[in-house]
Amino acid sequence: MKNIRGPAVFLAQFAGDEAPYNSLEGLCKWAADFGYIGVQIPTWDGRIIDLQKAGESKDYCDDFKGRATECGIEITELSTHLQGQLVAVHPAYDVMFDGFAPPEVRNNPTARTDWAVQQLKYAAQASRHMGIDVHASFTGSLIWHTVYPWPQRPQGLVETAFKELANRWVPILDHFDELGVDVCYEVHPGEDVHDGVTFEMFKAATNNHPRANLLYDPSHFVLQQLDYLAFIDIYHEHIKMFHVKDAEFNPSGRVGVYGGYQDWADRAGRFRSLGDGQVDFKAIFSKLAQYDYDGWAVLEWECCIKDGDQGAKEGATFIKDHMIKVTEKAFDDFAGGDPDEQLNRSIIGLS
């Protein structure tokens, strides 16, 4: 078995315009002070990284990694959650998702998609330049607006949508494959790939592309009321990344899974700081260790109540306390003996 690495922290929710949150060095020092040894990089944030330069220049990436190393921090993975979202956008969401793209491609869905695809390719190259073989993203969505089938979905709609989603992603996945990097999709409400069965549908549509894998985040499963422990049992071979993120689900007579259009604090399902929610992280870390998860434990902090710095500080300790140093021997080895084929044969009744 393998030891999970960590703690690390995803910087997306912490980056800002004020120091220390407005630069790579500032954020790395901030993270190191809390006890983190790794950071996951949101590649859309120009205050932290220039993704095009990272994709085009190994020297830039070497310098980028070196600046983090000087702070005692390792770059764990790169993320293109926002760019991946733009690979597939239904027109109903054009206006809201245009904010994820630069001004020059807004109000132009074709140009916006082309930009997003190129961003993914830069991210693949940047990951390779940094010696990282996993990458985080979203699939985007063409039929999320039909997730609750009223009116009834026309026959063949789902198949057509997943075929188109695969057509958009396979060339990207092929590029990642050429560079030896896995794309780890965060299964997430709002994406066409939002649970186990939709991941299976996407895999089938891509002809089981070997680079299509998973970022495991139990918080989204709590909000969907999906068995997040059984998910590991079923899909552990595809889980290559791990967001340590807590959540809770407290339905009432007034609000349930869909949230009633309420703000986060008033929903039945809401994200919480580590230890404040309902996720059984002891069981999760045990299962990931059991299945030889070979990656990082990365805090993704999203809480509707607690301050971010407090959540980050507590999160580093929380992850450390849940890390498992896997055993190198069986607990009952003391009662065993040396291999003896003749003895084994006699035990099963053979002369």
DSSP assignment of 299-321 equals E----SSS-HHHHHHHHHHHHHH
Mean pLDDT across the chain: 96
* pLDDT value, residue 337: 73
As to burial, measured by CB atoms within 10 angstroms (0-12 exposed, 13-18 middle, 19+ buried), residue 185 is: buried
DSSP 141: B
Q: Residue 335 pLDDT > 90, yes or no?
A: no
Question: Is pLDDT of 132 > 70?
Answer: yes
Instruction: Please tell me the predicted confidence (pLDDT) of residue 147.
Output: 96
Instruction: State yes or no: pLDDT of 242 exceeds 90.
Output: yes
pLDDT at residue 1 greater than cutoff 90: no
By the 10 Å C-beta count (0-12 exposed, 13-18 middle, 19+ buried), 313 is classed as middle
Over residues 45-73, mean pLDDT: 98
pLDDT for residue 208 is more than 80: yes
- Per-domain residue ranges of the chain: 5-347
Residue 42 three-state SS: strand
And the tokens for 199? 């991941």
The pLDDT assigned to 124 comes to: 98
Whether 227 and 213 have beta carbons less than 8 Å apart is answered as: no
| Percentage of residues of the chain with pLDDT beyond 70 | 98
Q: How far apart are CA 268 and CA 277, in angstroms?
A: 12
Residues 6+ apart with CB under 8 A from 233: 287
| Alpha-carbon span 334 to 256, nearest angstrom | 53
333 has pLDDT over 90: no
The total number of residues written for the chain in this structure? 351
Considering only CA atoms, which of 302, 229, 237, 224 is closest in space to residue 269?
224
> What's the whole-number mean pLDDT along residues 49-57?
98
Average of pLDDT values for 218-232? 98
Q: Tell me the per-residue pLDDT of 260-274, one tens digit each, with 9 for 90 and over.
A: 999 999 999 999 999
Please give the CATH architecture assigned to the domain spanning 5-347.
Answer: Alpha-Beta Barrel (3.20)
